[in-house]
Amino acid sequence: MSINASDIEFDKNHIWHPYTSMSRPLTCYPVTSASGVELVLADGRKLVDGMSSWWATIHGYNHQLLNEAAKEQLSKMSHVMFGGITHLPAINLCRILVEITPSPLECVFLADSGSVAVEVSLKMALQYWQARGQKKTRFLALRNGYHGDTFGAMSVSDPENSMHKLYHGHLTPHLFADAPQTKFEEEWDESDIQPFLSLVNDNADDIAAVILEPIVQGAGGMRFYHPEYLRRVRNICTQKQILLIADEIATGFGRTGKLFACEHADISPDIICLGKGITGGYMTLSAAITTREVAETISNGEAGCFMHGPTFMGNPLACAIACANLSLLAENNWQQQVANIEAQLKLELTPLKQKKSVADVRVLGAIGVVETKVPVNVQLVQQKFVEHGVWIRPFGKLIYLMPPYIIETHQLSRLTNAIASILD
């Protein structure tokens, strides 16, 4: 059955899309299938995917091994409750996660989306200090940060971008340090840590945890900052008895050129949040992983356990696919894949800095960003990209690429060429 005009009309009238008006919706393009790095539109056109469906589809669409993992698990059970029950897909996945994440992280909480993993990590930090009998209930986050769309996650996301004023009175007011200014490849400037440091000095006794996106601030501006900033934050948190939560939902699993962005600074957090790429874009799944010390402190507290348990916790189908996805990372030699993408993005995007409409071009790992001087007209630019045979979804002043790691040289060139011609 193929999609027709009345289907599209129904979609327009009845279905919410992300950050999209119901009364004046932007065009939605019907996709009927996808494989490798190509999306197939209903009219038969094929688009080279530059988005990995928002950081998730790291090995491309319709992957034979991931399909097989899904089918095999489906034939056993797609879901069973996790309360009082366990199963190999979850055990195997958590084994891998404990092994590949920075070493003191070893107790895995499986959740169902990135935002929920963030909620879980915030709740863990609160329960941790409660268990230690300390009144530490505030969070310190960075401006330009993004941690998801649920209430807790919004409350630690950039106050302007996450539209705190829309939900005034419902978001706990937390502390925000100015975003780091020293860029990833620049020389470290010691004054960059001052805003963070003075907030900590003024509020250390109240702060339960610092939450940040290590190295790459994603949806809040696609900014790449200096690893020394992260090292300093880690040291300050340790000195001042503040937990550090690393939100690696976007940066995890190789995207920035390290398996986890924390590795750029050689640090490890007390809690890490993972999501997006974890199932290779097949299913929604996330994890919050803690040190043993955090897990035991919470468990020895008044409540006797951590107070959270989603219905679909540890979903076997998602876990089985995640296992296959993570073994593909190693098999495919992700380091080489990401390094190749980085080199090509640098080569092909950097010259765009010369264009009048461009404010900045930056590349880190398999992420390429072209920042324009004025916000782009998404409706118009999206249509032009589709005419060029590529799928790139800009927001604000940001036209960015984060393609599947399996993308080939000529396909990546189609993406960068399309951006170049849009800018003209």
Ligand X SMILES: *Cc1c(COP(=O)(O)O)cnc(C)c1O
46 is catalytic: no
Q: Which of 49, 348 has the CB closer to ligand X?
A: 49
- The span from the CA of 13 to the CA of 188, in Å, is 51
Element (H, E) at 71: helix 64-74
247 is catalytic: yes
Q: How far is the CB of 51 from ligand X (least distance, A)?
A: 12
Interaction of residue 280 with ligand X, rule CB under 6 A: no
Contact with ligand X (CB under 6 A): which of 249, 324, 352, 363? 249
Contact with ligand X (CB under 6 A): which of 146, 225, 282, 405? 146
Interaction of residue 118 with ligand X, rule CB under 6 A: yes
Interaction of residue 147 with ligand X, rule CB under 6 A: yes
Contact with ligand X (CB under 6 A): which of 49, 247, 270, 371? 247
CB-CB contact of 37 with 411 (8 Å): yes
- The span from the CA of 272 to the CA of 196, in Å, is 20
Name the one range near ligand X by CB under 6 A: 143-151, 163-171, 346-354, 415-423.
143-151
Name the one range near ligand X by CB under 6 A: 38-46, 177-185, 244-252, 335-343.
244-252
Instruction: Count how many Cα atoms sit within 13 Å of the Cα of residue 248 in the half-sphere of its side chain.
Output: 29
Strands of 367-372's sheet in order across: 358-364, 367-372, 398-401
Contact with ligand X (CB under 6 A): which of 58, 171, 219, 294? 219
- The span from the CA of 289 to the CA of 310, in Å, is 16
State the chain's maximal CA–CA distance in angstroms: 63
CA dihedral sign of residues 166, 169, 174, 178? positive
Beta strands in 151-222 (DSSP E): 175-177, 207-212, 216-217
Q: Which of 57, 411 has the CB closer to ligand X?
A: 57
128 is catalytic: no
For every residue of 157-175, which 3-state class applies, written as one string?
CCCCCCCHHHHCCCCCCCE
3-state secondary structure of 230: helix
Interaction of residue 218 with ligand X, rule CB under 6 A: yes
Residues 195-214 that bind ligand X (CB under 6 A): 213
Q: How far is the CB of 248 from ligand X (least distance, A)?
A: 8
225 is catalytic: no
- The span from the CA of 168 to the CA of 54, in Å, is 28
- Token output for 247: 């939100």
| Distance of alpha carbon 424 from the chain centroid | 31
Interaction of residue 113 with ligand X, rule CB under 6 A: yes
Interaction of residue 57 with ligand X, rule CB under 6 A: no
Q: Whose structure tokens read 């409660």?
A: 130
Catalytic choice (49, 112, 247, 270): 247
Interaction of residue 63 with ligand X, rule CB under 6 A: no
3-state secondary structure of 102: coil
Q: How far is the CB of 153 from ligand X (least distance, A)?
A: 6
Q: Which of 18, 44 has the CB closer to ligand X?
A: 18
Q: How far is the CB of 190 from ligand X (least distance, A)?
A: 27
Catalytic choice (61, 192, 270, 276): 276
Count residues contacting ligand X (CB under 6 A)?
Answer: 15
| CB within 8 Å of 19: residues ≥ 6 apart | none
Interaction of residue 314 with ligand X, rule CB under 6 A: no
Footprint of ligand X (CB under 6 A):
113-115, 118, 146-148, 213, 218-219, 247, 249-250, 275-276
Catalytic residue positions, numbered: 19, 146, 247, 276
